[in-house]
Structure 1
Amino acid sequence: MRFVMALLLWVLTTVLLAVAVPTAWAQKNIVDQAGYSAFAAAAAKDPQLQQAVAGELTTQVRTLAAKNGAEVNASLIRGVANAYTAGPMFPGQFAKANEIAHTWMFTNQLARDENGSWVVDLAPMLADASFQETLSQFNVKVPQTLTVPIAASAPEALQPGKLRPLAVWGPWVSVGATVLAGVFALLTLVAAKSRGKTLAALGVSALLVGAAGWAGLEAARRYLNNALNHTSGDIRQAADAMVNHAIANLHQWLNLTLAVGGGLVVFGVIVAMLGGLRRRPSDR
């Protein structure tokens, strides 16, 4: 009976841990607005993303110039854009530009232009001093708001306000699952007869969760690619870079889970061996 109880508690611990790891990651990096801004700023250090944004900024400058009847040196503008996106100001301004997209997904405030497109605002980037000096040479003025469509038609899951329930319940789920996983892990240790074997079993739980997470990400990549197909051009390249950054970041969490699991297995085996050595003299 004690073994059955310990086994049931171990299964529940494993399930809760499988919920806790991805939900805690999502809450920290995606759902929370401040966390998402930090995530976007970190992603902005990716050269692929920098090149994609530089290309889009160049396109927007040429469009603004054309509206004013002016011509610009595309190579010059691209060089300025490349220097800007590789500079220290870009990560923070890129994060700010992404806040409007986060508002679209997680609130009922519609981050749309007059055509109903899902957008980001590039005006803060073009208002940077590194651009202004060059743009003034061509009499190009940047408007206060310069929205650029991310996708003309967002997928159903990313319609405005669709993810609002995640913003409301996400913190409760992530914290609750983490706390319950810890509680059930302790209950498993209490219910089990062998502490060493139980520690090793909990380590196996972490190993299973980490491995399942890696496999799940590989399976989910196809669905992510389908979502990215709603974007195109430089915006697609930038979105792809952000997805790659997200996957790499989640891999770090899963690797940490695997490392903790491996450590618990080794520690549990050592505890079990020491327990066996202590019992031997009394058995004789």
Structure 2
Amino acid sequence: MRTLASAVFALLALVLTAGALSAVWVDRNLVQEQGFVALAAPLGDDPRFQAALSESLAAEVVGSAGLPEQIADVVEPIITDAASSVTRSPGYPMAWDETLRLSHAITFAGVPESPGDPTPGALSLDLGPVARLVADTAGSSLGIDVPVPPDTTVDIGSFEGGALVRAVAETAGNWQLIALAAGICALLSLLTARRRGTTLALLGCGAMLIGLAGWVVAGFVPDAAVAAVGSSGLAQVFAEGLAGRIGLNLAAFSLPVIVAGGIAVGIGVVLRLTLDRRVRN
């Protein structure tokens, strides 16, 4: 009976541990604004993304300018040049970080994309701050006010519904409770076990498997994300870049879990051998 109870508690501990680790990663890297900005900020320096961004911004700003045909041939090249050089502007890093903060708010913080859409259902990139930088740069060269496009959001990928985003965010925010429950189950498993060294080693093996699963999943993230987006241009480039960053981050996050599991296995084996020796003596 004790062996069965210990096994049940151990299984619950491992399931809850997997849930807690998943939740804490999502919370720190996606739900929390600071983590999301830190995760996605390096994409702003990627040459491929910068080229796609400049092309998209040029089209958006030119399209919203409403230029008369008589001066369009003169003004459009200046706007295009401003868009091409925006990533080399001193104000670009700040504008890009602000873009990520606005995009995070739209997607994860429940800020409506439009008055009739209170619950977002897609990952959206709001290029407003960078588009404003392009308009200001072009306006300074022309000596006129170049309007910022009224809608600067780019849909990166859609979900089944905004409720899914909310559910993930709320669950991830409770990772401490899930981790506490996992710890309690692990402790109960050890307390009820007949062979605690063996039980600890098995728990360690389970933790190692969880870490290895995270490592494997990290390798599938880029392809899965691109397939989910199913678009082209700036959205596809951003999705590919962000998915690559997520994969690297998730793999790095999984490594300490594997190491911790290995340590638990080692301690469990030592305890098992020590207890066996005492029993024989």
TM beyond 0.5: yes
Q: CA–CA distance in 2 between the matches of 1:18 and 1:145?
A: 43
Aligned counterpart, 1:41: 41
| Secondary structure of the structure 2 residue equivalent to 1:127 | helix
Q: Deviations over 1:201-234 (max 9, x none)?
A: 12101111112233445566654333210x3202
Look up the match of 1:202: 203
Q: CA deviation at 1:117?
A: 11
Aligned residue number for residue 24 of structure 2: 24
Considering only aligned residues, what root-mean-square deviation do their CA atoms show, in Å? Answer: 3.6
Query: Is residue 167 of structure 2 the alignment partner of residue 165 of structure 1?
Result: yes
d(CA) in 2 for partners of 1:242, 1:176: 29
Taking every aligned residue pair, what percent have the same amino acid on both sides? 23
The aligned residue for residue 256 of structure 1 is 256
Match of 1:93 among 81, 91, 98: 98
1:136 aligns to 2:140 (yes or no): yes
> Unmatched 5+ residue regions in structure 2?
none
Aligned residue-pair number: 272
> Take 1:85 and 1:50, find their aligned partners in 2: how far apart are those partners?
15
Range that drifts further, 207-216 or 78-87: 78-87
- Rounded to whole Å, the distance in 2 between the matches of 1:86 and 1:249 is 27
Q: Rate the CA distance shift 1:162–1:2 in 2: closer, same or farther, 3 A.
A: closer
Q: Do structure 1's residue 9 and structure 2's residue 9 form an aligned pair?
A: yes
> Tell me, what secondary structure is at the counterpart of 1:193?
coil
1:46-85 deviation per Cα after TM superposition (whole angstroms, max 9, x unaligned)? 5554444344334434445574632225774355233249
Distance between the aligned counterparts of 2:47 and 2:195, measured in 1? 52
SS at match of 2:155: strand
Taking a change above 3 Å as real, the CA distance of residues 191 and 117 of structure 1, as seen in their structure-2 partners, is: closer
Query: CA 1:221/1:121 → structure 2, altered by over 3 Å: closer, same or farther?
Result: closer
Question: 2 CA distance for matches of 1:59 and 1:52?
Answer: 11
Q: 1:63 to 1:92 in 2, by over 3 A?
A: same
In 2, Cα distance between equivalents of 1:60 and 1:17 = 46
In the alignment, structure 1 residue 228 sits paired with structure 2 residue 225: no
2:131 is matched with which residue? 126
Query: Do the aligned partners of residues 170 and 100 (structure 1) sit closer, same or farther apart at CA in structure 2, a change above 3 Å counting?
Result: closer
Structure 1 residue 22: Cα displacement: 1.1
Does the CA-based 8 Å contact 2:222-2:244 persist in structure 1?
Answer: no
* Aligned residue number for residue 181 of structure 1: 182
- Aligned counterparts of 1:63 and 1:93: Cα–Cα separation in 2: 23
Match of 2:167, as an amino acid? Answer: P
SS at structure 2 position matched to 1:57: helix
Residue deviations 1:74-123, cap 9 Å, x none?
774355233249964255223224135315xx63x531499x99654322
Unaligned runs of 5+ in 1: none
TM-score for the superposition, normalised by structure 2: 0.78
Map 1:147-158 → 2, pairs under 5 A:
147-150=152-155, 155-157=158-160
TM-score normalized by the length of structure 1: 0.77
Q: Map 1:71-82 onto structure 2 (within 5 A).
A: 71-73=76-78, 76-77=81-82, 79-82=84-87
Tell me, yes or no, if the aligned pair for 1:58 and 1:81 is still in contact at 8 Å: no
Structure 2: how far apart are the matches of 1:205 and 1:117?
A: 35
Between the aligned partners of 2:280 and 2:159, the Cα distance in structure 1 is 67
Segments of 4+ in structure 1 off by > 6 A?
none
**1:48–1:238 Cα contact (<8 Å) kept:** no
Change (3 A) 1:232 1:190: same
Query: What is the CA–CA distance in structure 2 between the aligned matches of 1:261 and 1:27, rounded to whole Å?
Result: 23
Which one is further off, 232-241 or 118-127? 118-127
- What is the CA–CA distance in structure 2 between the aligned matches of 1:113 and 1:47, rounded to whole Å? 35
